[in-house]
Amino acid sequence: MEREGLAGKCPNCGAPIELSPDTVVLICNYCGLATTLEGVQVKPLMIECEDWGAVRTAVDSFVRSRVGDASVREVRAVMVPFWVVEMDVSTRYNGYRREIRTKTTGRRTTTYTVYIPVKGVIREKVAVAVYGRRFESVFGLGLVKNSVLRRRTESQPINPQMLKGWAAIGSELDMKEAVEAAKTRAAEEHRRRVEAMATKVFDCYTEATQSTALLVLYPIVEARYESAGKSYRLSFDGVRGSVKPLMAELPLTMKGRAVRSIAAAAAILAISLATVALQPLIWIEEIPDELKLAIVAGPPVASMIAGAVGAYTASQEQRLMKAGEERDLMVVA
C-alpha cells in the first residue's frame, strides 16, 4: 500500500488519520485498524485512557491550584506510540579499579596506588521503552517512558470506543528498528554500570536476545497555559483512574525568588562560620596534609558554588516540577 494512496485516510473505514512523512504504522481512531503502509495488519495494544471530560477538569484544577490567575489555552489528549521490548541481556567485561591508599609509619604518612582487577558477567532480563516517533517529542518524555514500563502488563487490545476524544498517533519506527534501538540502549546501560565499577575498561561486550516487542499506545495529555503574559507547558498521565501531572513549568513569584536568595546567603554564612571554626586544625601536625588542604581550599570553593547557584535560582522566572524519575529501561528478572 503506497503512502500516496492513503492520502491520510483509513483504508478500512475511510476516516481521516494523522500521518507524518515517516509514519510506518498507522492507527485509525474510529475503527481501531492498525496497519503498515504495505497493508500488513499489526496488533498494537493500549493502556486504558481516561474520559476526555475528566482529563480537562484535572488540567484546569491543577493550573488553578498551583498558579491561580492563569488561563488554559490548549489541551491535547494523545495516545503516544511506544515499543516495549523485553530482552535477555548478557555483558562480559574486563578492566581494573585504581585505589589510592595511605600508610602511616610513626609520624610519617605516605600514599600509594593499587590496581584491583574488575572482571565478570552481567546477566539479566530487561524491558526497554522505545519512543515510536523520530522527531516529534513529548514534554516529560523520560517520565512517560517510566510510566509505560511500570504499566506494561496493563496493556490491552485497542478499543475504538475508549479512544473518543483522543488522537491515536502512529509509529515512525517498525519493530526491527525498535529492537535495534533497545539493544543499543541495554548495551549503553551495562557499559555505564561497568564504568562506574572500574577506572579502566579493556573489554565490554554485550549480547541481547529479544523475547517480545509490543507496540503500546500510552495516554498523555499535553497542555499550555498563560500567566502574566507568559506561556507555560505541562503534561499529564492520562491513564483511567490515575490522571496526574507528570511535568509542569510553573512561574516563580517575587516571593519565591526572595526565598531562594535568602537561602543562598544563609548557606554562604554557614560556610564562613565553619571556616573560622576549622582554621585552628591546620596547625595540628598529626592531621594529614590532604585534610589540611581541604580545610583551606574547601570553604572558598563551596562559597563560590553557593553564590553562583543562589544567583542563578534567584534570577529564574520559572521552575520545573517533576513527578517521579526518568527511566527508559527496567530490570524485570
More confident: 151 or 36: 151
All 3 cell numbers of residue 101? 591508599
Please give the angle made by the CA atoms of 13, 18 and 22, to the nearest 5 degrees: 120
- Phi, psi torsion values for 89, nearest 5 degrees: -120, 135
In a domain, 12, yes or no: no
Chain centre to alpha carbon of residue 100: 35
Report the C-alpha gap between 87 and 208 in whole angstroms. 6
pLDDT tens across 70-98, in order?
889 999 999 999 999 999 999 999 999 99
Instruction: Centre a 10 Å sphere on the Cβ of residue 39 and count the other Cβ atoms it contains.
Output: 11
Do 152 and 55 lie in one domain? The reply is yes
Whether the pLDDT of residue 1 is over 50: the answer is: no
Do 50 and 171 lie in one domain? The reply is yes
Do 265 and 310 lie in one domain? The reply is yes
In a domain, 261, yes or no: yes
Do 56 and 77 lie in one domain? The reply is yes
- Overall number of domains in the chain: 2
Report the C-alpha gap between 192 and 285 in whole angstroms. 41
Domain that holds residue 260: 256-315
Do 304 and 168 lie in one domain? The reply is no
pLDDT tens across 102-118, in order?
888 887 888 889 999 99
Q: What sign results for the dihedral spanned by CA atoms 135, 137, 143, 144?
A: negative
pLDDT tens across 260-292, in order?
555 555 666 666 666 666 566 555 665 666 665
Strand partners, 247: 235, 322
**How would you classify residue 5: left for phi > 0, otherwise alpha for psi between -120 and 50, otherwise beta?**
alpha
In a domain, 190, yes or no: no
The pLDDT score that the predictor gives to residue 260 is 52
In a domain, 71, yes or no: yes
In a domain, 90, yes or no: no
Do 224 and 271 lie in one domain? The reply is no
Do 147 and 288 lie in one domain? The reply is no
Q: Does the reported pTM lie above 0.75?
A: yes
From residue 66, give the alpha-carbon distance in Å to each of 75, 149, 172, 228, 325.
17, 28, 36, 14, 21
pLDDT tens across 186-245, in order?
999 999 999 999 999 999 999 999 999 999 999 999 999 999 889 999 999 999 999 999
Do 68 and 170 lie in one domain? The reply is yes
